[in-house]
Amino acid sequence: MKTLDDIRRQLAAATFEFSRHAFKRVVERNISELEIRQAGLGARIIEDYPHDKYRPSCLLLGFTQAGRPLPLQVSYLESDWLKIITIYEPDPAEWYDFSRRR
């Protein structure tokens, strides 16, 4: 299993791939690879899903240099490439400090 440091390294180095769903969200929300890399540097786990339907995963929260919050759900199985399952911009009405659900 990957550690948070492993996940951060892979995000910062752009050694990740998108699920079909995540790729659609990146395009729809105009999220750049650079923003994902920036958010990955200081990302922290805000929710853990060790028994997720398809593979163990977690929800991370990171911020771009411009301060844009980017939650990313990633699989933490051992692999050369980190799998981004989804990525989005959080709705402030649904989150406290972008890290706790209302």
Give pLDDT tens digits for 43-55. Answer: 999 999 999 888 8
Alpha-carbon distance of 102 to 7, in angstroms, equals 26
pLDDT 10s digits, 66-97? 999 999 999 988 888 999 999 998 888 888 88
* Whole-number pLDDT of residue 98: 85
Contacts of 62 (CB under 8 A, 6+ apart): 11, 38, 39, 40, 41, 42, 43, 44, 69, 70, 72
Task: Map residue 15 onto helix, strand or coil.
Answer: coil
What does the alpha-carbon distance between residue 58 and residue 26 come to, in Å, rounded to a whole number? 18
Instruction: Please state the pTM of the whole predicted model.
Output: 0.91
Give me the amino acid identity at 55.
Answer: R
